[in-house]
Amino acid sequence: MKKSIVLILAAVLAIASLSSCVNKYKKVKIVSCDVESFIPSGLKSFNAVAKVGIDNPAPDFNIKNIRAVVRRDTLEVLYMDAENVAVDAKCNKVYRVPVAGQLSKSVSLIQLVVMAKNLQSEIDAYKVDITGRATVAGNIGKDIKYKDVPLKKFIDRL
């Protein structure tokens, strides 16, 4: 009987501590975003380093398999993959994140020039889909999915 009470009490304490951690993870914020470097690596690809400011009141975690797709209406324009990021516990810090980008095969260089020229006036037509996986303690984690985020939100942070 005592063992079962102790086990139930331990389970309740574990659930309470995990729920408080989950609440802290919900308070993680991206506070800044900037491009540190941009290097073309071909006619349709590039390598870049992004500086991302993260305010993390929670324990440390990792973000893996980060992928973004930039679309103009329904046309996929750009694919980007970022390296994994290890976010430190309880700190407000800027992280350097290497990014590799590739233009869609359906976008010609002439289309790219026209899109770049008209980007300011047509910015509302561009959306970003972002996926990744936030993990703690190995592979315990949650998939992250943001769909149809206006590109303007990212440009405003630059």
The Cα–Cα gap between 104 and 98 comes to 20
Higher pLDDT among residues 71 and 136, named by residue:
71
H or E stretch covering 128 = strand 126-136
In 11-56, which ranges are E strands?
29-40, 45-56
The Cα–Cα gap between 95 and 84 comes to 11
Query: Mean pLDDT throughout 14-28?
Result: 57
pLDDT at 136: 85
pLDDT digits (tens, 9 = 90+) for 57-98: 988 899 999 999 999 988 999 999 999 999 999 999 999 999
Most confident of 28-37, 92-101, 106-115, 140-149: 92-101
pLDDT at 55: 92
Domains and CATH numbers, the chain: 29-157 (2.60.40.10)
**Burial grade of 144 (CB within 10 A; 0-12, 13-18, 19 or more):** middle
Q: Is the pLDDT of residue 16 over 70?
A: no
